Amino acid sequence: MKLRSFLPSIKSISPTCQALLFITVLTFTTACTKENNQKFYEDIQDSPLFDSDIKLIGGVTEMPVKSQALFVPDNVKSGAYAYASVIRLNDSSLMIACTRYQPNGFDDFMHSDIVARKSTDNGKTWAPEFVLQENIATINTMNPNLLRIGAKKLLLIFTVKHSDAKIDLYIKESQDNGETWGDPRMINTTQGYHILNNDRAIINNKRIILPVAFAKNISKEFDQQVVFCYYSDDMGKTWLKSKYLKTYFALMEPGVTAIDKNGTLKMNIRTRQGFIYFSKSTDNGATWSGLYKSGINTPESPQVVKSLNRTDSLIMIWNNAVYTPGTNNRNPLTFAYSITGGNEWLNPTNLRSNRDLNYLYPTIYNDRHDTVFVTYAIRDNSYKPIVYFDKLSLKNLIK
């Protein structure tokens, strides 16, 4: 029966029958969606799991840092800040972007946009914040990733959340070192909940790589999250997807770092297993070789790992704490380094260790002269995070 001939018959039936018909159609549609979602996961082969010798070596020391609070909620235009990304604009100028939440609170499903501040004196002072990317989503626009791909060309990659079954990834370009920006365009071609953390995009061997956690519906399938990478070999014009990593527990909020210029990458993965998990790629992120359980404690929070000049010398910042289900113990904030490509992590050093605070979503930006810029959000009992900016000398941390 054609739809146009069917519609009059619907109007002719009683309101009670119309309601029953609506419920029947809705139930059928929901069942089909659930079945299709499960087929998606079932079609992905489980990744091999390995116990590894990746471990932390040495006792933890304390090295309190001197920080700048750069984004502080005023409860008028902002209720919270988090998820930052830093980039150098020229010899003396920096820009830091982060997610700004509205005064009604800090939550994955609260409204937000992306704001930024600039410094012209290497981070000593900062100009007032401005909107770098307005909210173009039903819910929020967040998680900035700033990348340099040319002398004056920058990319901003970010997430656009519409529902618990739809986060899209977007990209926009600046041709003049961040003074002006083009229109955003969507990266992903499939629908689902794409989780790209702040400042996790990298470029290696002229390939842009985005580590992503994914679920068809995060509310219904949280424990079925898989990870993969989007990658582009034409500076963000077109995108391909890597092979998936999947296991019997949720794989969350991955990060990647380049070990060398030949395409060796290391991925770090958030889980609820109490330890950091890693994976490895030898083809610049197109495929990944299983999941490696480390002996490094972590609660349910993400880590950031960066290589120093694309070598097997790595630095990592994470919450070095024992996982306790049902608690949000994201402290302390710890630094460690590796000279073995991430097999052994040395000189663990607490940068922040106030047990009354939580330290959220750290980032590392490798600058010049053995200096790294570190950002993170600090949340107290008010649940209104503040974004902090630190300058660290590697000479004081790598011994």
Contacts of residue 266, Cβ cutoff 8 Å, sequence gap at least 6: 256, 257, 259, 278, 279, 280, 305, 307, 314, 341, 342
Domain ranges in the chain? Answer: 50-397
**What pLDDT tens digit does each residue of the chain (399 aa) get?**
444 444 445 556 776 765 565 555 455 445 566 778 999 999 999 999 999 999 999 999 999 888 999 999 999 999 999 999 999 998 889 999 999 999 988 999 999 999 999 999 999 999 999 999 999 999 999 999 999 999 999 999 999 999 999 999 999 999 999 999 999 999 998 999 999 999 999 999 999 999 999 999 999 999 999 999 999 999 999 999 999 999 999 999 999 999 988 899 999 999 999 999 999 999 999 999 999 999 999 999 999 999 998 778 999 999 999 999 988 899 999 999 999 999 999 999 999 999 999 999 999 999 988 899 999 999 998 889 999 999 999 998 998
**pTM for this predicted structure:** 0.91
- Nearest-5° Cα angle at 330, 66 to 119: 35
50-397: in CATH 3.30.70.1150: no
Measured CA to CA, the distance from residue 8 to residue 136 in angstroms comes to 38
